[in-house]
Amino acid sequence: MAEASVLIPPLAPGAQIAVIAPAGPPKPGRLDPVAGWLRERGYEPALLPSCFGPPPLDFLAAPDAVRLADVHTAFTDSRFDAVLALRGGSGCIRLLDRLQLGRLACTRKLLIGYSDLTVLHALRTNAGIASLHAPMPASDWGLPGAEADTDALFQCLAAGWRVGDEVGRAAPHPFTTGSAAHGRLIGGNLAMFCALLGTPYLPDVDGALLFLEDISEEPYRVDRMFTQLRLAGVLDRIAGLLLGSFTGAESPDAVLADHLLRLRCPVLAGWPSGHGQPNRPLPLGVHAEMDPASGRLVLG
């Protein structure tokens, strides 16, 4: 396969993965198995200091300086072949104005994670570098029902992603509408994407395919955030909307239906990624074509 067609190279057996905690701390008992899980999959783990605290606030894994240093180290230290977030939660956005963006943009090392990691995915997208919205060890691995998602992640890491690869298919959904659309895949967690509005870190939304999902957001909050996206002009500028799962609260379907009526772009809903299960890996920062008629998402 030609080099130009490789969007995310395979991660070779024995590759060393830097595990960082740029957001929240792991719950009790969730850190201990991580190194073993990675070794079982054929990779060499390197758990960086932010994984071990101490948390200065209940919602931060470690002090800002420690988490910031780990992000810089993970991407710039040549020993590491990929960067894996321990979990999401909250805290990544506190680091944005102190991150040395040039150091992050000098390597195409893969970033793996989701949820609060949406803001770090945005930095990779802005630098023209692919990243991976995917399950994280302290949030997902080893939990009942999560085996298929974890297996899918490691299968994708071993195979890589190329132009023409089918990312997956969404089941028929009543919100799905419109014709095929092509653009750069951006987005992630709805709340975190909205938090980037008005900052210099928001990815370019013009002609993009915007992926959104969320957890524990009541319908009135989902309504507020979609209204914010509309008022900011985002929903008028994207080429297509890819909707993942919205879990952990009362269903926001009525709110979503109301907002989707105003959209002028295609929608592919029910995508199997987000805080619920399934949570299949989704490349971000790469071009793709979504086809609402078939439910397919194809890279390239």
Alpha helices in the chain (DSSP H): 34-40, 64-76, 101-105, 118-126, 147-159, 190-195, 219-231, 234-237, 253-260
Place of tokens 């803001």: 119
The residue annotated as part of the active site, out of 213, 217, 273, 287, is: 213
| Alpha carbon distance 185, 72 (integer Å) | 25
* Active site (annotated) includes residue 213: yes
DSSP letter string over 184-231?
A: EEEEEEHHHHHHTTTSTTPPP-TT-EEEEEEES--HHHHHHHHHHHHH
Given the residues 121, 133, 259, 275, select the one marked as catalytic: 275
* Phi/psi of residue 253, nearest 5 degrees: -55, -40
Closest-CA residue to 115 (of 211, 22, 25, 214):
214
CB 184 within 8 A of CB 106: no
d(CA 156, CA 170): 18
Annotated catalytic, 275? yes
Amino acid (1-letter code) at residue 87: R
Q: Which two structure tokens, joined as six digits, stand for 219?
A: 């319908």
d(CA 138, CA 29): 9
> Which residues are designated catalytic?
115, 213, 275
